[in-house]
Amino acid sequence: MKITEGRVIVTSPGRNFVTLRLETEDGLYGLGDATLNGRELAVATYLNEHVAPALIGRDARNIEDIWQYLYKGAYWRRGPVTMSAIAAVDMALWDLAGKRLGVPVHELLGGRSRRDVMVYGHANGQTIEDTLEAVARYLDLGYKAIRAQCGVPGLGKAYGVGRGELHYEPAEPGLAPEHEWSTERYLEVAPELFARLRQEFGTEVHLLHDAHHRLTPTEAGWLGQRLEPHRLFWLEDAVPAENQDLFRQLRAHTTTPLAVGEVFNSVFDLHTLVTERLVDYIRTSVVHAGGITGVRKIAALMEPYQVRLGSHGATDLSPVCMAAALQVDISINNFGVQEYMRHTEETDAVFPHEYHYADGALHPGSAPGLGVDLDEDLAAAYPYEAAALPVNRLLDGTVTSW
């Protein structure tokens, strides 16, 4: 089962996606997502120049060995560009393995641990009233878990408060835009939002919230305490993710469950958080954390500490990543929830997939491999367009720090 070709396809059906297609000598092919929002071409180049040539002639059946070879063979370990490239290879190899054996990938990962994969969507509004309406719409669609965000009074566009309803696209065309931010004003509105949500919708629905790395542990502890009566499913990215030490102070000050990790790419980004049990959920995604193999290593570390996986699944993670994430989610024991923001119709047409939504959950389907394809002719109709995630400045012009 020698690998004969590795090709990178960049397409922008509403947003940019980078996909790796690996082909083997018997004519089978596997797909892997390599999309890194705002830095897409760095990963495409890394794959084209450094990874694809090293795969030709290798046996596609040796998934673990190829993962280790790429991880250690880079010498410069970890990092989002490297780990997204490794992830793409890994997903494509699992896809190939499933197709070769005629089974969905989760059957190779130990089978199903649950019936379906609970998902959450983003309910956004400029005001609290708008957000209440957005939550009601998700409830009508059957969602059991909903992330709620609202605008901050007196501020322009706030990051994390999306445009559109079921879609969410925080990247903007061109270079990184600059937005304004005020923690003081945010801390006024956030507890009020959740008080209103519980009043309107009761205690049954799981409510989530994302603070996007903008608070200090003191501010986050204050917020977490005020959210305790409203029993959140989680408070995400309350403090900057890259300093694991900050979570000790935060954890000591609130029993609101904590989630972090959409920007993580290896076990060494989170080992302190897990082994000291400073968070409840880790949000690494298959694409940014070294693929199915990378996320399974992370999930295995988390399991005895009762830390659960709550994978990142915003619109910038392609249907290939979503298909791969669902194979992991359904198979591991310590799964919590999967983020799910729907892709545009154009994206769904470029990436036909087996997974489907019903009753607040995604179902991975039973097609061999990952259960997702790429229509290359259609993909070619959507050329790459530069876009980037925003930077926030405080009201006096200072870039928000760590």
In the complex, minimum distance from the CB of residue 283 to Co ion, in angstroms, rounded to a whole number: 7
The strand pairing partners of 119, in sequence order, are 338
The single residue of 167, 212, 343, 353 carrying the catalytic annotation is 212
Binding segment toward Co ion, per CB under 5 A, in 44-52, 64-72, 254-262, 289-297: 254-262
Q: Which residue lies nearer to ligand EZ4 by CB, 58 or 343?
A: 343
Residue 170's binding partner among ligand EZ4, Co ion, none (Cβ under 5 to 8 angstroms by kind) is: ligand EZ4
168 is catalytic: no
The single residue of 120, 138, 159, 382 carrying the catalytic annotation is 159
DSSP 47: I
In the complex, minimum distance from the CB of residue 90 to ligand EZ4, in angstroms, rounded to a whole number: 20
Strands 387-388 and 172-173, bridge-based pairing: antiparallel
Going from the C-alpha of 335 to that of each of 98, 165, 204, 311, 338, the distances in angstroms are 22, 26, 20, 9, 8
363 is catalytic: no
Residue 78's binding partner among Co ion, ligand EZ4, none (Cβ under 5 to 8 angstroms by kind) is: none
The set of long-range contacts for 375-380, using a CB threshold of 8 Å and a minimum separation of 24, is 375/349, 375/350, 375/351, 376/9, 378/13, 378/349, 378/350, 379/9, 379/11, 379/13, 379/19, 379/350, 380/11
How far does CA 171 lie from the centroid of its chain?
A: 15
Binding segment toward ligand EZ4, per CB under 6 A, in 94-102, 309-317, 319-327, 344-352: 309-317
In the complex, minimum distance from the CB of residue 207 to ligand EZ4, in angstroms, rounded to a whole number: 14
Residue 316's binding partner among ligand EZ4, Co ion, none (Cβ under 5 to 8 angstroms by kind) is: ligand EZ4
Q: What is the number of alpha carbons within 13 Å of residue 23 lying toward its C-beta?
A: 8
In the complex, minimum distance from the CB of residue 311 to ligand EZ4, in angstroms, rounded to a whole number: 10
Q: Which residue lies nearer to ligand EZ4 by CB, 37 or 318?
A: 37
x/- letters, 201..220, toward ligand EZ4 (CB under 6 A): ---------x----------
Spatial neighbors of 41 by CB under 8 A, at least 6 apart, are 10, 18, 384
- Tell me how far apart the alpha carbons of residues 68 and 143 are, in angstroms, rounded to a whole number: 39
The answer to whether 170 contacts ligand EZ4 (rule: CB under 6 A) is yes
Residue 310's binding partner among ligand EZ4, Co ion, none (Cβ under 5 to 8 angstroms by kind) is: none
In the complex, minimum distance from the CB of residue 77 to ligand EZ4, in angstroms, rounded to a whole number: 23
Structure tokens at 327: 């194979």
The answer to whether 314 contacts ligand EZ4 (rule: CB under 6 A) is yes
Closest residue to Co ion, based on beta-carbon distance: 210
**Burial class of residue 144 in the structure, from the number of CB atoms within 10 Å of its CB (0-12 exposed, 13-18 middle, 19+ buried):** middle
Residue 314's binding partner among ligand EZ4, Co ion, none (Cβ under 5 to 8 angstroms by kind) is: ligand EZ4
x/- letters, 192..211, toward Co ion (CB under 5 A): ------------------x-
From candidates 90, 269, 280, 316, binder to ligand EZ4 by CB under 6 A: 316
Closest residue to ligand EZ4, based on beta-carbon distance: 314
**Burial class of residue 257 in the structure, from the number of CB atoms within 10 Å of its CB (0-12 exposed, 13-18 middle, 19+ buried):** buried
Neighbours of 372 (CB within 10 A): 26
Number of amino acids touching ligand EZ4 (CB under 6 A): 10
Q: Which residues in 22-81 contact ligand EZ4 (CB under 6 A)?
A: 37
Q: Which residues in 327-386 contact ligand EZ4 (CB under 6 A)?
A: 339
Spatial neighbors of 106 by CB under 8 A, at least 6 apart, are 112, 326, 327, 328, 330, 331, 364
In the complex, minimum distance from the CB of residue 389 to Co ion, in angstroms, rounded to a whole number: 11
The answer to whether 219 contacts Co ion (rule: CB under 5 A) is no
Q: 186 with 209: CB under 8 angstroms?
A: no
- Tell me how far apart the alpha carbons of residues 141 and 137 are, in angstroms, rounded to a whole number: 6
Number of amino acids touching Co ion (CB under 5 A): 2
Strands (E), 205-292: 206-210, 234-236, 258-260, 281-282
Q: What is the number of alpha carbons within 13 Å of residue 122 lying toward its C-beta?
A: 27
Residue 235's nearest CA partner among 245, 243, 381, 253 is 253
Q: Which residue lies nearer to Co ion by CB, 280 or 373?
A: 280
Strands 356-358 and 361-363, bridge-based pairing: antiparallel
Residue 354's binding partner among ligand EZ4, Co ion, none (Cβ under 5 to 8 angstroms by kind) is: none
Interface positions with Co ion (CB under 5 A): 210, 262
**Residues with active-site annotation:** 159, 212
Q: Give the residues lining the site for ligand EZ4 (CB under 6 A).
A: 37, 168, 170, 210, 262, 312, 314, 316, 339, 389
